[in-house]
Amino acid sequence: MVSPGTGDTRSSARIDAVIFDWAGTLVDFGSLAPTQIFVDAFASFGIDITLAQARGPMGLSKRDHIRTLLAEPAIRTQWIERFGHPASSEDIDAVYRRFMPMQIEKVAEYSQPISGAVQILQGLRERGIKIGSCSGYPRQVLDVLLPSAAASGIEPDCVVAGDELAAGGRPGPYMALANVLALGASDVRQCIKVDDTVPGIHEGVRAGMWCVGITLSGNEVGYSQAELALAESAEIDARVLHASERLTQAGAHFVIGTVAELPAVIQEIEQRLRRGEQP
* Pair 144, 175: CB distance under 8 Å: no
Nearest 5°: the CA angle 210, 213, 215 is 165
Cα(12)–Cα(185) distance, rounded to whole angstroms? Answer: 12
User: Is 193 a residue of the active site?
Assistant: no
Beta strand 17-20 with 191-195: parallel, antiparallel or unpaired?
Answer: parallel
User: Is 62 a residue of the active site?
Assistant: yes
Cα(211)–Cα(259) distance, rounded to whole angstroms? Answer: 13
Cα(139)–Cα(160) distance, rounded to whole angstroms? Answer: 8
For residue 201, which phi and psi values (nearest 5 degrees)?
-70, -40
Please identify which of the residues 21, 28, 64, 187 carries the catalytic annotation. Answer: 21
Task: Give the bridge partners for 211, in sequence order.
Answer: 193
Please identify which of the residues 62, 130, 187, 196 carries the catalytic annotation. Answer: 62
Active site residues: 21, 62
